[in-house]
Amino acid sequence: MNILLTGGAGYIGSHTYVALLEAGYTPVILDNFSNSHPAVLGRLQRVTDRQVLCETGDVRDTAFVQDVLRKHSIQAVIHLAGDKAVGESVANPLKYYFNNLGGAISLMQAMQAVDCKVLVFSSSATVYGDPASVPIAEHFPRSHTNPYGHTKLVIEDMLAAQSAARPDWKVAVLRYFNPVGAHACGLIGEDPAGIPNNLMPYISRVALGQLPFLEVFGGDYPTPDGTGVRDYIHVCDLAEGHVAAVRAMLGGSSGMQVNLGTGRGYSVLEVVRAFEQASGRTVRHRIAPRRPGDVAQCYANPGLARQQLGWQARRTLEQMCADAWRWQSGNPNGYRDDA
Ligand code: WQD
């Protein structure tokens, strides 16, 4: 069965591509490479020993998306394409509303035109805002604290409206917690442009000596060691969660909204120590002021995904750090060294 991966050349997309192939599906990438590198395609061919099917274009081009859906007889779509930097979304909200909402609307219109009815959507734990308690369950209230999170929340609502209007549509909303790590082969991984916003790529570059030290944003949170606690999930576990969702939706399951997390929170300092263990490197760090918009704790109750998808995360924090280090140390400049 052919599965379309919008944003499939990105961090989550490339790992989901591999997981889909391993599960016997035929993934087709749709990407405009505005936030990913074409070299990923060559890497994926090396990892999978298969010619990579990729259509270059913008998910907001509805006619283009329709053509791709028809050309490849797509049975289900995994929608990953979109912008995801919280800070950038605050500075440039119109870019986020246009790209993320416009892309989702265009995709849904194209799917409707060709009668493709199965959609797995990349949402985010950010839709829970600042949770009243942890672990977070799917019925918890949603809110947003930035335009990026707002786009995820609005797209969830658009998908719910579409499913209500067209009950034959099957929609799975996957709320990611904190994806980290890389495929064990070391050929694909997270490659943010410029200075990383997220913790794990930042730590990786400090360990490699590309950045001088890590600023730990806040040491006075109401957490065991005062630093922020998050639910880090191996990107390969997350990818396998997408395969489970595609399988469930194609198998006739009703739509769902599920957390993709491990259910275990780790503090910033715990991640630093785990990374030092895994890499054998020192990660110089210092406590700095809190980052505006950060919450103290955010980790999942993963029970619903286990119950509805038969999926749960398996990989440990040590594996996440070891795989992240293998990728970073083997590719100091990410994909930019490839021709
Ligand atoms: C993790 C922890 C920081 C960097 C965001 C988005 C979320 C998703 C993942 C897209 C926090 C601390 C970080 C640093 C630090 N993005 N930190 N120094 O903020 O939990 O989630 O990225 O889907 O939607 O909200 O992830 O990795 O930025 O931060 O101390 O240089 O690490 O304060 O406690 P976050 P993060």
Closest residue by Cα to atom 36, ligand 1, is 198
The answer to whether the peptide bond before residue 222 is cis (omega within 30 degrees of 0) is no
Q: What pLDDT score was predicted for residue 63?
A: 98
Side-chain half-sphere exposure of 325, counting CA atoms within 13 A: 22
Q: How many helices (DSSP H) and strands (DSSP E) are in the chain? A: 12, 14
Catalytic member of 17, 148, 202, 266: 148
Residue with tokens 């809110």: 143
| Mean model confidence pLDDT for the chain | 97
291 CA distance to ligand 1 middle (Å): 9
Whether the per-residue pLDDT at 31 is higher than 70: the answer is: yes
Q: What is the mean pLDDT of residues 216-238?
A: 98
Rounded percentage of the chain residues whose pLDDT exceeds 70 = 100
What is the total residue count of the chain? 339
Angle at alpha carbon of residue 37, lines to 34 and 38, rounded to 5°:
105
Q: What is the mean pLDDT of residues 120-136?
A: 96
- List own/partner pairs for 81-84 with CB under 8 A and 24 or more apart: 81/6, 81/7, 81/10, 81/30, 81/31, 81/32, 82/7, 82/122, 82/151, 83/35, 83/148, 84/124, 84/148
* Euclidean distance between CA atoms 219 and 226, whole angstroms: 5
Q: What pLDDT score was predicted for residue 59?
A: 98
Joined together, the tokens standing for residue 144 give 């947003």
- The separation between CA 94 and the C-alpha centre of its own chain, rounded to angstroms, equals 22
Whether the per-residue pLDDT at 339 is higher than 80: the answer is: no
Q: Are 134 and 166 in contact (CB under 8 A)?
A: no
Closest residue by Cα to atom 14, ligand 1, is 199
CATH architecture of the domain covering 2-183+232-262+301-313: 3-Layer(aba) Sandwich (3.40)
Whether the per-residue pLDDT at 72 is higher than 90: the answer is: yes
Residue with tokens 């060691």: 225
DSSP three-state, residue 208: helix
Q: Is the CB of 294 under 6 A from ligand 1?
A: yes
Domain boundaries, the chain: 2-183+232-262+301-313
DSSP 290: P
Closest residue by Cα to atom 27, ligand 1, is 198
Q: Is the CB of 126 under 6 A from ligand 1?
A: yes
Q: Is the CB of 104 under 6 A from ligand 1?
A: no
Q: What is the pLDDT of residues 153-198, one digit of tens each?
A: 999 999 999 999 999 999 999 999 999 999 999 999 999 999 999 9
148 classed as catalytic: yes
Q: Is the CB of 192 under 6 A from ligand 1?
A: no
Q: Are 295 and 130 in contact (CB under 8 A)?
A: yes
Q: What pLDDT score was predicted for residue 337?
A: 84
Q: What is the mean pLDDT of residues 262-281?
A: 98
Rounded percentage of the chain residues whose pLDDT exceeds 90 = 98
* Euclidean distance between CA atoms 193 and 327, whole angstroms: 15
Residue with tokens 């391993």: 22
Q: pLDDT confidence of 133, banded at 50, 70, 90?
A: very high
State how beta strands 229-230 and 266-267 pair: antiparallel
Q: What pLDDT score was predicted for residue 24?
A: 98
Q: What is the mean pLDDT of residues 252-269?
A: 97
Q: Is the CB of 197 under 6 A from ligand 1?
A: yes
